[in-house]
Amino acid sequence: MPLFNNFFKKKPAKAYGDSPASNFGRYMSCNKPISTKKKFDEAKKLFINEDYISSFEKLLDFLNNEPRDNVEYFTGDGNINFSLIQGSCKISGKLNLSEFEAYSSLGNYEESNAALLRHLLSKNLSLQYSAFAIRNNDIIIKTNFKTKESSPEKLYFTLKELSLSADAEAANLENEFSFAQINSDKSYTDISESELKTKIKYLKIWISNTLEYINSLKQFSSYESIASYSLLALIFRIDFLLIPVGKVRSMVDKAVSIYNQKNMTLAHKLKLVLSMLKETAELSEKDLQNSFKKHTYTFGIIEASSHKQVYEFILSQLKKTEKLKFENQGQKIAFYEYISGYCMYFFGVFTVTKELIVLIYKIICPDFFNDIGYSATDYFIDNKKLNREKIEKEIGEIIEAGRHEYPKLSIMLSNLSYNNTSSFIYSLLNEITYLNYSQPK
């Protein structure tokens, strides 16, 4: 598995940041520009030559995701002092010729609590480079190494572990240990009022419509399987299109975790997830507003994936359509949306793949895209028939942009079916499996 997927360099008229795809889904650090990737290689060379300060500067430049400005540092008197942002947490540290150290302060408490201490100790068992600790009643996560042992590769994985763990644990402490005072210096910005209202509106609409749809499925013999795919399609849609944080994101992750439980019946999974969705729809206005903030990230939770991993999953799922007894087109669309959403939740896909999946979502959820600021009505003619000319023009632009880095990319437009929405999504998912991401030697 490659450490970093390559970034698709677009034509100047259509930069990656201008694409709707860049504004959806969890942050993925695997698709960095070539110019940024080179900084990591430069950091490795400088470290080999024992120029440790310059090496770390290059690593920090590599981690900075312009124009987000998630990394800051300054050099003086043989030291580099730095800070980086990961979701709700700020990570600070320094490196000099003798030592590297980094830490993040998550919060504090007034009185010692045995349950909290046990919790932090259990978390440390899964950490390789860092550790949670208590310092003057402050809950922190920290790490330190001798500089000569701090290669760019080691520091990258160290900072990634520390950052992801800090962000995840800050949310956990807030939800599970109410006595802990979580640091109020949150690294987020509020989204616009119109975007906030739109996201809360569609969260409630989608949950309500899906619950009503699930209830209508009980008459079918394949109820449990079709209902499960429909629920997962909804959960992945909420995660990808609404990009929640806070309690809504916690619901998403817990629901996915429930479906991954092997010692639980499908009926019980359905019951639990349905209950969680109902509770989410009934969250207070404050909790809902706090679930939709714009966060800055340095590291992505999702690891880079090879295209082989993606197309093998898609093909394995498409084969199931022969066994699943779909009663109507709506059930097929829900299943194909589940496949698309799964790819975006679990895989660090190439940018072209992501943009094609965004196209699928625009066809499934045109009203949402219109309300959020991206026109999607023209994907249909008279709100019914798919607009072949519009869709194929967009696919052509996506593929052409990707060819700057991957010249063998192509899609057989003649293989796309426009009979109805479900057949189109099926055919596009199938064509995605044939994308050729090989590069010239």
User: Residues 158-174: pLDDT tens digits?
Assistant: 999 999 999 888 877 77
Q: In this predicted structure, what is the pLDDT of residue 301?
A: 85
SS3 of residue 86 by DSSP: strand
Beta bridge mates, 145: 100
At 298, the pLDDT band (50, 70, 90 cuts) reads very high
- CB-based contact 384:373 (threshold 8 Å): no
Tokens describing residue 247: 């309690």
Question: For 327-385, what is each residue's pLDDT tens digit?
Answer: 888 899 999 999 999 999 999 999 999 999 999 999 999 999 999 988 777 898 877 89
Closest among 435, 428, 436 to 360, alpha carbons compared: 428
Residue 95: CB atoms within 10 A of its CB come to: 27
DSSP conformation letters of 370-410: HHHT---GGGEETTTEE-HHHHHHHHHHHHHHHTTT-TT--
129 token code pair:
């480079």
Within 10 A of 108 (CB to CB), how many other CB atoms are there?
16
pLDDT of residue 1: 38
Residue 149's alpha-carbon distances to 47, 238, 333, 348, in angstroms, are: 10, 42, 52, 29
Give me 200's structure tokens.
């809360």
- Average pLDDT in the 237-248 region? 94
Choice between 161 and 216, residue whose per-residue pLDDT is larger: 161
Of residues 349, 352, 359, 356, the one with CA closest to residue 307: 349
Count the Cβ atoms, other than its own, within 10 Å of residue 128: 9
CA angle, corner 33, sides to 32 and 36, nearest 5?
Answer: 85
> Terminal CA-to-CA distance of the chain, rounded, Å?
19
DSSP conformation letters of 116-172: HHHHHHHHHTT-SS-EEEEETTEEEEEEEEEGGG--HHHHHHHHHHHHHHHHHHHHH
Can you read off the two tokens belonging to residue 126?
A: 């899964």
Q: Sort 425 into a burial class: Cβ within 10 Å, 0-12 / 13-18 / 19+.
A: buried
Residue 229: closest CA among 329, 368, 312, 341? 341
Q: Is the pLDDT of residue 81 over 60?
A: yes
pLDDT tops 70 at residue 245: yes
Alpha-helical (H) ranges within 146-237 are 152-176, 193-216, 223-237
Half-sphere exposure of 333 (CA within 13 A, CB side): 16
Helices (H) and strands (E) counted in the chain, each on its own, are 15, 11
Task: Give the bridge partners for 91, in sequence order.
Answer: 84
pLDDT at 188 over 90: no
- The stretch 127-137 carries a mean pLDDT of 92
Distance from C-alpha of 223 to C-alpha of 244, rounded to nearest angstrom: 29
CATH topology of domain 16-20+28-182: Yope Regulator; Chain: A, (3.30.1460)
Q: Which of 67, 63, 69 is nearest to 36 (CA)?
A: 63
Where does the chain hold its CATH 3.30.1460.10 domain(s)?
16-20+28-182
- Whether the pLDDT of residue 83 is over 90: the answer is yes
Return the amino acid letter for 84.
L
Confidence of residue 103 (pLDDT cuts 50, 70, 90): very high
* 14 band by pLDDT with thresholds 50, 70 and 90: very low
The distance of Cα 6 from the centroid of its chain, to the nearest Å, equals 17
Phi, psi of 198 (to 5 degrees): -65, -45
Q: What mean pLDDT comes out for the span 50-75?
A: 91
**Cis amide prior to 20 (ω within 30 degrees):** no
Q: Are 302 and 28 in contact (CB under 8 A)?
A: yes
Instruction: Reply yes or no on whether the pLDDT at 15 is more than 70.
Output: no
Length of the chain: 441
